């Protein structure tokens, strides 16, 4: 089977480093090189692998690649995806898929018209604890799920994440999408209505929110509450968490997604650290994208999945602005 030729479109998002590592270690992939509108940022990621930098995105697209992995600022996802699709390239796009419903619909439309795959990067679907929880719920181990409580509390990332023109929003957009995608996947239900509140509680200098509470009602009347924040301070051992508690008619399931970690104490560090020992969710994500494209099968996490989860965050912003519940638009 021929290898999949892949290009990297931007190194703005930190996830690009683990995606690139996974691509380089996949025997079915040949990484051609990478592009970024910030050469220094790109070369820092490319040089360890001896990969070339392309100053023109269209030049990279013309280099015989089959697919691109887009890790740009959120506001550029749509433009880069559409350019790639028009050039006949498959796309793995970092979350959130886009910052407006209109732009995401256009991304999906163009990819379909050009016959290329569009996959949204939701690596949390590949966490062992999440997979086991889904299997347990599918078996009916806790009966019917009647409520869910979740958290996605991370550290404030700074840089372009706190520039609303580039990010589209703060912690509410950044962290709502992961959990809402997991819940759509696990519950086999759709979020219908949202009530949310937000604030800038931990970093008052920011132009975007760093704290949010998102209350969503899923089809079937399942209530969900999610703490979506950048509340983890520099002294916290790692960047953050993803937790879920499912309440069922016959029991509960608690998920601590990143609990597979050792506590590390070492001289030279000013805080305790957590060293993860579990499987790499990013490696599995990349492998599924590569396999789908090479085999001509549908990607497991579609553009529509990306739109559906981002739509919850956009509805949350609408609710925050109005002070009332907002319907989740599609």
Examine the pLDDT at 270 and tell me if it is beyond 80: no
Average predicted confidence (pLDDT) for the chain? 96
Residue 85 token pair: 């699709």
Mean pLDDT value across residues 281-303: 97
Judge residue 234's burial from the number of C-beta atoms within 10 Å of its C-beta, 0-12 exposed, 13-18 middle, 19 or more buried.
Answer: exposed
pLDDT of residue 33: 98
Q: What is the pTM of this model?
A: 0.95
pLDDT band at 268 (very low <50, low <70, confident <90, very high): confident
What is the secondary structure of 250-272 as a DSSP string?
A: TEEEEEETT--EEEE--TT-SS-
Predicted pLDDT of residue 279: 82
213 SS3 class: strand
Q: Tell me which architecture the domain covering 125-279+310-327 has in CATH.
A: 2-Layer Sandwich (3.30)
pLDDT digits (tens, 9 = 90+) for 172-184: 999 999 999 999 9
Q: What CATH fold (topology level) applies to the domain 4-122+282-301?
A: Rossmann fold (3.40.50)
Q: Would you say residue 133 has pLDDT above 90? A: yes
Q: Residue 233: what pLDDT? A: 83
Task: Indicate whether 12 pLDDT > 80.
Answer: yes
Residue 100: which pLDDT band, with cuts at 50, 70 and 90?
very high
Parse the chain into domains and list their residue ranges.
Answer: 4-122+282-301, 125-279+310-327
| pLDDT 10s digits, 17-37 | 999 999 999 999 999 999 999
What is each CA distance from 258 to 21, 130, 181, 240, 276, in whole angstroms?
A: 20, 10, 17, 9, 8
- The pLDDT score that the predictor gives to residue 103 is 98
Is residue 137 within 8 A of residue 186, CB to CB? The reply is yes
> Quick check: 181 and 200 in contact, CB under 8 A?
no
d(CA 91, CA 88): 10
The pLDDT tens digits of the residues spanning 194-242 come to: 999 999 999 999 999 999 999 999 999 999 999 999 999 888 888 889 9
Distances (CA, A) of 256 to 214, 230, 317: 19, 18, 27
């Amino acid at each position: 089977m021929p290898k999949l030729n892949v290009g990297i479109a931007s190194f703005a998002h930190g996830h690009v480093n683990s995606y690139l590592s996974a691509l380089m270690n996949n025997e079915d992939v040949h990484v051609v090189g990478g592009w970024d509108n910030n050469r220094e940022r790109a070369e820092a990621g490319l040089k360890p692998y001896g990969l070339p930098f392309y100053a023109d995105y269209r030049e990279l697209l013309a280099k015989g690649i089959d697919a691109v992995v887009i890790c740009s600022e959120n506001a550029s996802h749509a433009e880069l995806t559409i350019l790639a699709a028009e050039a006949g390239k498959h796309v793995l796009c970092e979350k959130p898929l886009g910052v407006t419903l209109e732009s995401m619909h256009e991304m999906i439309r163009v990819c379909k018209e050009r016959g290329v795959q569009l996959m949204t990067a939701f690596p949390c679907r590949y966490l062992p604890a999440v997979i086991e929880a889904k299997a347990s719920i599918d078996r009916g181990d806790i009966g019917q799920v009647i409520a869910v409580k979740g958290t996605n509390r991370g550290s404030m990332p700074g840089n372009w994440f706190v520039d609303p023109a580039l990010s589209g929003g703060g912690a509410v957009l950044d962290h709502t999408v992961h959990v809402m995608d997991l819940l759509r996947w696990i519950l086999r239900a759709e979020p219908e209505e949202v009530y949310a509140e937000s604030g800038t509680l931990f970093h008052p200098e920011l132009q975007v929110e760093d704290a949010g509470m998102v209350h969503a009602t899923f089809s079937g009347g399942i209530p969900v509450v999610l703490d979506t924040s950048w509340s983890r301070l520099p002294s916290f051992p790692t960047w953050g968490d993803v937790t879920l508690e499912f309440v069922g008619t016959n029991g509960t399931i608690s998920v601590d997604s990143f609990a597979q970690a050792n506590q590390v104490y070492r001289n030279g560090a000013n805080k305790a650290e957590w060293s993860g020992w579990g499987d790499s969710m990013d490696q599995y994500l990349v492998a599924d994208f590569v396999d789908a494209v090479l085999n001509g099968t549908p990607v497991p996490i579609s553009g529509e999945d990306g739109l559906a989860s981002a739509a919850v965050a956009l509805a949350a912003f609408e609710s925050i602005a109005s002070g009332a519940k907002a319907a989740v638009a599609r």
